[in-house]
Amino acid sequence: MSIAIVTGSAGLIGSEATRHFANQGMTVVGIDNNMRQEFFGAEASTNWQRSQLQTELGNRYEHNDIDIREMDSIEKVFKKFGNNIELIVHAAAQPSHDWAARAPHIDFSVNANGTLNMLEATRQHSPDAVFIFTSTNKVYGDTPNRLPLIENETRWEIDPQHSYVNGIPEDMSIDHCLHSLFGASKVAADVLTQEYGRYFGMKTGVFRGGCLTGPNHSGTQLHGFLAYLMKCTVTGVPYKVFGYRGKQVRDNIHSYDLIQAFEHFFRAPRSGEVYNIGGSRFSHCSMHEAIEICERIAERPLERTYVEDNRIGDHIWYVSDVSKFKNHFPDWNLTKNIDSILKEIFEANVERWSEGVGV
């Protein structure tokens, strides 16, 4: 029996990973206690996605309503399956830098201590398994804001002569900058995952994501940029744009493309490896540009207000350089750009949102 353990299995990345590896013939053991609802309220609940997974996958999916901070509960799962566990996709997290400042103990215990629990359980019970950790570009803090940026009509853009013109690589420093407490807790988890790979020789991979997105995202104001933006456009909920004159730029990677990257790493793993992963220049946009696309797809205007103050530590311009991953895994390619991502989010959710489900 081939087992994949997926934490945050009803979330955006977790649900995509669950479906993918179940369809590869693995039995997926999901760990998800819907803490996203505790973080962000009822609209962010992932219960709808959990129900879909259980219906679609049947006995290929086993759900465990477990908190990753509870080491005894995590150990029971790992002891049960032992060396049959071939893969761990650790996607559970407290994902918002705004929310982290409200409850630093919870943020750190989920992101850092929860990751330590998963790593140690893997080392003790399934040391040959591949461990994939979903980190974040927030580990670089506000260092990207020191890049030479140029303000254009609808976006900020990097100086075309700069070496990072194709995106930010893994050699950017994570030190001497403002991270937000969320960024700090993810740095701890990121470095722990690297260390378990290098110190213990485990097969660990760290994926520092840009904006992760897709139709399975339970988007909310504090997390889930594109999904929440489209939901507000469809439902008429007012949207707040925070700072930088709405010209801040992000690259956005569809959950499908990210899981394809996980698949490649799973089949040919390394120890303690780190990758910046995102939509790169293939799939990126400013806030202004994303709003324009949402309005065009939904065929209605977005009601919005502008708040002068940006979120603390927020990036003005961030585009991932994915060339390192491409060099290691040349058969992997990005397939979904901003327009196709937003169209898919709209088509998959418009009926649910219109009926008031998840709003």
For residue 197, the model assigns a pLDDT of 98
Structural domains in the chain plus CATH codes: 3-354 (3.40.50.720)
Q: How many residues does the chain have?
A: 359
Greatest Cα-to-Cα distance within the chain, rounded to the nearest angstrom: 57
Q: Name which of 75, 77, 78, 113 is nearest 92 in CA terms.
A: 113
pLDDT for residue 215: 87
Other residues' Cβ atoms within 10 Å of the Cβ of residue 119: 23
Average model confidence (pLDDT) for the chain? Answer: 94
What pLDDT does 313 receive?
Answer: 80
Q: What SS3 class is residue 222? A: coil
Report the pLDDT value the prediction gives residue 98, as an integer from 0 to 100: 80
Note the pLDDT of residue 358. Answer: 47
Q: Which residues contact 108 (CB under 8 A, 6 or more apart)?
A: 181, 184, 185, 188
What pLDDT sits at residue 352?
A: 81
Both tokens assigned to 286: 């400013």
pLDDT in tens, the chain (359 residues): 799 999 999 999 999 999 999 999 999 999 999 988 877 777 778 888 899 999 999 999 999 999 999 999 999 999 999 999 999 999 999 888 788 889 999 999 999 999 999 999 999 999 999 999 999 999 999 999 999 999 999 999 999 999 999 999 999 999 999 999 999 999 999 999 999 999 999 999 999 998 999 987 766 665 667 989 999 999 999 999 999 999 999 999 999 999 999 999 999 999 999 999 999 999 999 999 999 999 999 999 999 999 999 888 889 999 999 999 999 999 999 999 999 999 999 999 898 887 764 44
Q: Where do we find the tokens 């991979």?
A: 205
**pLDDT of amino acid 356:** 63
Q: How many CB atoms lie within 10 A of CB 175?
A: 9
What span, in angstroms and rounded, lies between the C-alpha atoms of 350 and 359?
11
**What pLDDT is recorded for position 222?**
55
What does the buried/exposed string (b/e) look like for 145-174 if buried means 16 or more CB atoms within 10 Å of the residue's CB? bebebeeeebbbbbeeeeebeebbebebeb
At residue 359, the pLDDT reads: 44
